[in-house]
Amino acid sequence: MRNRKGIGLVVLTAILLLSGCQNLPGPEETVPAKGQESQEERPLETDSPIETQEKPVMESMPAEPAAGQEPEAGEDASGQQAFKEENQEKGLPEKEEKPAEEASAEPPEESLPEEIPPAEEQAGQQAEPPDEAAEGIMVEKKTLVIPGLEREYRYLFLSDTHIISLDGEESEQQLENALPRRDTLFKDELGRTPEEVFPDWIAYANEQQVDGLLLGGDVIDFPSQGNLSFLEKNLEMLEMPYLYVPGNHDWTYPWEYMTDKGRQEYLAALSPWMRGTPAAQMMENEELVFLGVDNSSNQIDPAAMDTVRSAMERGKPVIILQHIPFATDRLVDTAAGLWKNPVLLGKGVLGGIYPNEASQEYMNLVLGGGSPVKAVLAGHIHIGEQDSLTEGIVQYTAEAGYMGKGLLLIIKGEEPTDTQPD
């Protein structure tokens, strides 16, 4: 009996061993580690749809939001949705909306700009943390080092505040244009309108006792008497000098865009706040020259060139203020993601604005060898960026001032170096 039981156990063991061997991998197979899928079974990340890749760069907003309607919580706080609706309302050729199929398409690899070096590695510039000045006001500090300066200077730079102040004298056409823009398009994160935000900037400049205020255009949204009166009242409260260059909105309406009437009547009306001539103007202190140049029509007015040459010949470092930025490879790519046209001066082959003869002469003076220019400040695109235009010239573009975003430019000489005595 015992022999039979022993034989039975041996046979049973052999059967179990043989059945287990059939499930073992062959010599060319591998067994996934515990908890890991095989490579064939696991889908590649690039094959799976990613929600952000399917969406266009800018999503559609309602064409006509209800008056006073607050933006939805999912909207971009930077105001990019607002910029898109602005273009839809105006239908302006120089800031057209980028179609969804174009906006979502990846640019060809060869057109991507090179990585810009960190701010501290660029010529004469240093980045500092933002400074929250007041509720709803955010000031970013930038330091520009210019060797040889004996003292430190602080200038507040604002652009694209888009003031809309109504005095009851507006025509029906003006109101139809103004109300949707004031009540929905240009509200900041706290729900404030541009005319509520702008006085806070004046108060901040006075409290900080900055050396000057630099206004980069589109300060008012259109040249109504109500806007001009509001502008005059607030600028009279400043306790320091200011430099104000026109933007394309300061002197135009959608129905009177870049016309002869606009130039002769509306642009001329800004002259009292632009030292008598919007084309070009200077603001000077003991060590620096600030040159304001009008390029709001996408080109330089030939009438500006005598003032430009004079500024370049004064033997001092020059800071330029203009509405439309100079194009760089990186900025063209960034702006093209928001606007159908990069709306930047230069680099026409990449989609920027081809300069005319006067603009090319201006660019040669500003960006050429031996130029005394140290920095260019610009707005227009509602994007805060910084780029090196040349080895010695940095360009700062401003975020939209109506969103409570500004830049405090600190200009000073070289930092002292610790030296050991002999």
pLDDT in tens, 69-97: 333 333 333 333 443 444 444 444 445 44
CA distances 264 to 260, 274, 416, Å, are 6, 15, 51
Average pLDDT value for the chain: 77
Could you read off the pLDDT of 278-335 as tens digits, one per residue?
999 999 999 999 999 999 999 999 999 999 999 999 999 999 999 999 999 999 999 9
CATH of 139-412, one of 3.40.50.1370, 3.40.50.720, 3.60.21.10, 3.60.15.10: 3.60.21.10
CA distance 76 to 58: 10
CA distance 400 to 96: 18
More confident residue, 327 or 135: 327
Q: How far is CA 157 from the centre of its chain?
A: 13
> For the whole model, what pTM was predicted?
0.72
CA distance 64 to 404: 24
CA distance 100 to 111: 19
What's the mean pLDDT in 256-278? 95
Q: Return the pLDDT at 418.
A: 57
pLDDT band per the 50, 70, 90 thresholds, residue 135? confident
CA dihedral 190, 208, 383, 149 (to 10 degrees): -170
User: Is residue 181 within 8 Å of 82, Cβ to Cβ?
Assistant: no
Could you read off the pLDDT of 357-375 as tens digits, one per residue?
999 999 999 999 999 999 9
More confident residue, 380 or 43: 380
Give the Cβ contact number of residue 6 at 10 Å: 10
Q: Return the pLDDT at 112.
A: 30
What's the mean pLDDT in 378-387? 96
pLDDT band per the 50, 70, 90 thresholds, residue 129? low
Q: Per-residue pLDDT for 208 more than 70?
A: yes
Domain ranges of the chain: 139-412
